[in-house]
Structure 1
Amino acid sequence: MAAVAQSDKAGTTISLDPYETLIRPFMTAHCVKCHNAEKNKGEVRLDNLSVTGPGGTARWAAVRDQIRDGLMPPPKEPRPDTVTARRVVAWASALVGTEPSRLPNQGNLVPHELLFGSPAKPGEPPAARIWRLSPDAYMNLTNAWFKDAPGVSQPFTLTDDRGIRDYAGLYKTDEASTEILVRNAIAIVEAQTTQQFVVPQRFDKKNNVQPPPQIVANKNAVKDFLAIVDPAAPPTPPQLERAIATQFRMALGRVPTAAETTTYLEFYDRCLKTGDSPSAARTMLQAILLKSDVIFRQELGSSVSERDGRRMLVPMELARAISLTLGEKLDGTLVRAAEKGQLSTREQVEGHVRRMLAEGKSNTSRVPLFFREYFEYHRAPDVFKDKPKDAVYLPAVYVKDTDLLVAYVLQQDKDVFRALLTTPLTYYNARISNDNKERTNRVYIAEKNQPQPDKKTGIRPMHVEEIYGFTGGWSDQQPAPMPDETRIGVLMQPSWLAAWSTNFDNDPVRRGRWVRERLLGGTVPDLPIGVAAQVPDEPHHTFRERLRVTRAEGCWKCHQKMDELGLPFENFDHYGRFRTSESVLDTEATAKNMDKKGEPLGPVLRQAALVTTGTIADSGDPALDGPVRDPRDMLRRIAGSERPRQVFVRHAFRFFMGRNESLADAYVLQQADQAYLSSGGSFKALVTSLLTSDAFLYRAVEAKPAPR
Structure 2
Amino acid sequence: MITTAMRTRASIVPLLLALGCPQDGGTASEGGPGTSDGTSAGTDTTVPTTSAGTSSSGPDDPTGDTGDTGDTGEPPGEPSGNDLDQNALFTCRDQPALPPADLRLLDRYEWTRNVGSWLSSDLANNPLYPRPEHRYSTYSDDEALDPSVLGLYLDSVGGAADSWTIGKWDGGRLRTVHEDPECQCFLYDAAPTSECVRYFVRRYLEFGALFRPASEAQFDALLAFTEGVLAGAPDVESRPAVIKRLGAAAWMSTGALHRPELGAGEPDEHGRLQLGDWELANAIAYALTRTPAGVPSVNRSYNAGFSKGDVDGDLGSILDAARDGTIKDPEVVAKLVEEHIGGIDEARLDLLFEPHDERYWETHSEYWMAHGVREFFREWLDYGELAAQTPKVEVAATSAWSGYAVENSYQNQIVGFYGYESTLDYQLDDMIARILDTDQDVFANLLTSRMFYTPATAGYQENETSIWKSTAEANRVYNVSGITPQTREGRWIELPQNERAGVLTHPAWLGAHALSFENDPNLVHRGKWIREELLCQNVPDLPITVDAKLSEASKSQSARQRMSEQIDADPYCAGCHALMNPLGYPFEIYNHAGFVRVEDHGGPPDGTSNLVGMPSPELDGPVTSAIDFSQRLANSRYAKRCFMRQTFRYFAGREETMHDACTMVAIEKAYDDSGGSFTEMLIALFNSDSFQTRVPD
- Structure 1-normalised TM-score? 0.67
- Cα pair distance change 1:151/1:141, threshold 3 Å: closer
- Cα pair distance change 1:95/1:555, threshold 3 Å: farther
> Residue 648 in 1 paired to residue 643 in 2?
yes
> Residue 372 in 1 paired to residue 329 in 2?
no
Q: How does 1:540-579 map to 2 (within 5 A)?
A: 540-547=556-563, 548-551=565-568, 552-579=570-597
Contact 2:670-2:680 at 8 Å conserved across structures = yes
**In structure 1, what is the Cα distance between the partners aligned to 2:444 and 2:479?**
23
2:497 to 478, 481, 484: 484
Contact 1:451-1:461 at 8 Å conserved across structures = no
Match of 1:171 in 2: 143
Match of 1:516 in 2: 531
Question: Which whole-Å deviations, capped at 9, do the CAs of 1:638-671 have from their partners, x for residues lacking one?
Answer: 1101100000000011111111111111111121
- Cα pair distance change 1:182/1:246, threshold 3 Å: farther
Question: How far is the alpha carbon of 1:322 from its aligned partner?
Answer: 1.1
Match of 1:127 in 2: 100
- Cα pair distance change 1:641/1:402, threshold 3 Å: same
**In structure 2, what is the Cα distance between the partners aligned to 1:95 and 1:263?**
39
Q: How does 1:191-206 map to 2 (within 5 A)?
A: 192=164
Letter in 2 for 1:578: V
Question: How far is the alpha carbon of 1:258 from its aligned partner?
Answer: 3.6
Contact 2:337-2:679 at 8 Å conserved across structures = no
Question: How far is the alpha carbon of 1:473 from its aligned partner?
Answer: 3.8
Question: Which whole-Å deviations, capped at 9, do the CAs of 1:195-220 have from their partners, x for residues lacking one?
Answer: 8999xxxxxxxxxxxxxxxxxxxx98
Q: How does 1:14-93 map to 2 (within 5 A)?
A: none
Question: In structure 2, the residue corresponding to 1:566 is in which secondary structure?
Answer: helix
**In structure 1, what is the Cα distance between the partners aligned to 2:555 and 2:242?**
72
Unaligned ranges ≥5, structure 2: 1-73, 171-176, 294-314, 351-368, 397-401, 415-422, 464-468
Match of 2:417 in 1: none
Match of 2:607 in 1: 612
Match of 2:35 in 1: none
Match of 2:340 in 1: 356
1:629 to 621, 624, 634: 624
**In structure 2, what is the Cα distance between the partners aligned to 1:335 and 1:196?**
25
Question: How far is the alpha carbon of 1:447 from its aligned partner?
Answer: 6.7
**In structure 2, what is the Cα distance between the partners aligned to 1:683 and 1:581?**
39
Question: Which whole-Å deviations, capped at 9, do the CAs of 1:397-435 have from their partners, x for residues lacking one?
Answer: 333322221111111111111111111222221xxxxxx
1:114 to 75, 88, 101: 88
Match of 1:501 in 2: 514
Q: How does 1:274-293 map to 2 (within 5 A)?
A: 286-293=248-255
Match of 1:400 in 2: 426
> Residue 313 in 1 paired to residue 297 in 2?
no
Match of 2:678 in 1: 683
Question: How far is the alpha carbon of 1:472 from its aligned partner?
Answer: 4.2
Contact 2:457-2:483 at 8 Å conserved across structures = no
Question: In structure 1, the residue corresponding to 2:500 is in which secondary structure?
Answer: coil
Question: Which whole-Å deviations, capped at 9, do the CAs of 1:314-335 have from their partners, x for residues lacking one?
Answer: 1111221111110033322212
Contact 1:195-1:226 at 8 Å conserved across structures = no
- Structure 2-normalised TM-score? 0.68
> Residue 138 in 1 paired to residue 111 in 2?
yes
Match of 1:205 in 2: none
- Cα pair distance change 1:276/1:231, threshold 3 Å: farther
The worse-fitting range, judged by mean Cα deviation, of 417-426 and 573-582 is 573-582
**In structure 1, what is the Cα distance between the partners aligned to 2:342 and 2:125?**
33
**In structure 2, what is the Cα distance between the partners aligned to 1:296 and 1:96?**
25
Contact 2:436-2:442 at 8 Å conserved across structures = yes
Question: How far is the alpha carbon of 1:179 from its aligned partner?
Answer: 3.6
- Cα pair distance change 1:262/1:573, threshold 3 Å: closer
Contact 1:498-1:574 at 8 Å conserved across structures = yes
Match of 1:47 in 2: none
Structure 1 or 2: more strand by fraction: 1
Match of 1:423 in 2: 449
The worse-fitting range, judged by mean Cα deviation, of 236-245 and 186-195 is 186-195
Contact 2:457-2:484 at 8 Å conserved across structures = no
Match of 1:536 in 2: 551
Q: How does 1:574-593 map to 2 (within 5 A)?
A: 574-583=592-601
**In structure 1, what is the Cα distance between the partners aligned to 2:678 and 2:609?**
30
1:343 to 319, 327, 343: 327
- Cα pair distance change 1:184/1:152, threshold 3 Å: farther
Contact 2:588-2:607 at 8 Å conserved across structures = yes
Match of 1:410 in 2: 436
Match of 2:39 in 1: none
**In structure 1, what is the Cα distance between the partners aligned to 2:450 and 2:179?**
53
The worse-fitting range, judged by mean Cα deviation, of 526-535 and 276-285 is 276-285
Identity %: 26
Contact 2:458-2:484 at 8 Å conserved across structures = no
Match of 1:246 in 2: 203
Question: How far is the alpha carbon of 1:172 from its aligned partner?
Answer: 1.3
Question: In structure 1, the residue corresponding to 2:198 is in which secondary structure?
Answer: helix
**In structure 2, what is the Cα distance between the partners aligned to 1:426 and 1:343?**
37
- Cα pair distance change 1:183/1:622, threshold 3 Å: same
Question: How far is the alpha carbon of 1:365 from its aligned partner?
Answer: 1.5
**In structure 1, what is the Cα distance between the partners aligned to 2:498 and 2:531?**
24
Question: Which whole-Å deviations, capped at 9, do the CAs of 1:585-618 have from their partners, x for residues lacking one?
Answer: xxxxxxxxxxxxxxxxxxxxxx223432112233
**In structure 1, what is the Cα distance between the partners aligned to 2:393 and 2:435?**
32
1:670 to 661, 665, 668: 665
Question: How far is the alpha carbon of 1:512 from its aligned partner?
Answer: 0.7
Letter in 2 for 1:311: L
Contact 2:109-2:124 at 8 Å conserved across structures = no
Match of 1:155 in 2: 127
Question: Which whole-Å deviations, capped at 9, do the CAs of 1:82-108 have from their partners, x for residues lacking one?
Answer: xxxxxxxxxxxx9996243xxxxxx31
> Residue 471 in 1 paired to residue 443 in 2?
no
Question: In structure 1, the residue corresponding to 2:617 is in which secondary structure?
Answer: coil
- Cα pair distance change 1:658/1:149, threshold 3 Å: closer
Question: Which whole-Å deviations, capped at 9, do the CAs of 1:4-30 have from their partners, x for residues lacking one?
Answer: xxxxxxxxxxxxxxxxxxxxxxxxxxx
Question: In structure 2, the residue corresponding to 1:582 is in which secondary structure?
Answer: coil
Letter in 2 for 1:553: P
Question: How far is the alpha carbon of 1:177 from its aligned partner?
Answer: 3.4
- Cα pair distance change 1:321/1:164, threshold 3 Å: same
Question: How far is the alpha carbon of 1:159 from its aligned partner?
Answer: 4.1
Question: In structure 2, the residue corresponding to 1:644 is in which secondary structure?
Answer: helix
**In structure 2, what is the Cα distance between the partners aligned to 1:194 and 1:641?**
54
Question: How far is the alpha carbon of 1:516 from its aligned partner?
Answer: 0.8
Question: In structure 1, the residue corresponding to 2:327 is in which secondary structure?
Answer: coil
**In structure 2, what is the Cα distance between the partners aligned to 1:477 and 1:655?**
34
- Cα pair distance change 1:487/1:286, threshold 3 Å: closer
Question: Which whole-Å deviations, capped at 9, do the CAs of 1:88-138 have from their partners, x for residues lacking one?
Answer: xxxxxx9996243xxxxxx3122223312x333252331111111121111
Match of 1:385 in 2: 392
Letter in 1 for 2:680: A
2:262 to 286, 300, 306: 300
Give the total of aligned pairs. 536
Question: In structure 1, the residue corresponding to 2:112 is in which secondary structure?
Answer: helix
Question: How far is the alpha carbon of 1:490 from its aligned partner?
Answer: 1.2
Q: How does 1:189-268 map to 2 (within 5 A)?
A: 189=161, 192=164, 237-251=194-208, 252-265=210-223
Question: How far is the alpha carbon of 1:500 from its aligned partner?
Answer: 1.4
Which structure would you say has the larger Rg?
1
The worse-fitting range, judged by mean Cα deviation, of 156-165 and 272-281 is 272-281
